[in-house]
Amino acid sequence: MSLKPVAAWVCDFCGRHQWEVSLFSAKPLGAEATHHICRDCASKALMALPAQSAQQEPSHA
């Protein structure tokens, strides 16, 4: 039994070829293509989340 190598893929956000396992692979409703995000883009997106979530929270006033 032999191990299969990880297939190359391209990050949809930065466009770089990646050889590691995709951190995010999702098929949005109505979309035919699967989207991939690399580790660098995922970490940048996670760092930007708190700033965006604070603006989207409804006010309780």
Does a structural domain hold residue 1? no
Question: Can you give the residue range of the structural domain that contains 34?
Answer: 9-53
CA dihedral sign of residues 6, 9, 12, 13: positive
- In whole angstroms, what is the distance from residue 34 CA to residue 50 CA? 26
pLDDT band at 59 (very low <50, low <70, confident <90, very high): low
pTM of the full structure: 0.46
Q: How many domains does the chain have?
A: 1
Does a structural domain hold residue 43? yes
Does a structural domain hold residue 41? yes
Q: Give tens-digit pLDDT for 5-41.
A: 556 778 888 988 877 665 555 555 555 556 778 888 8
Does a structural domain hold residue 2? no
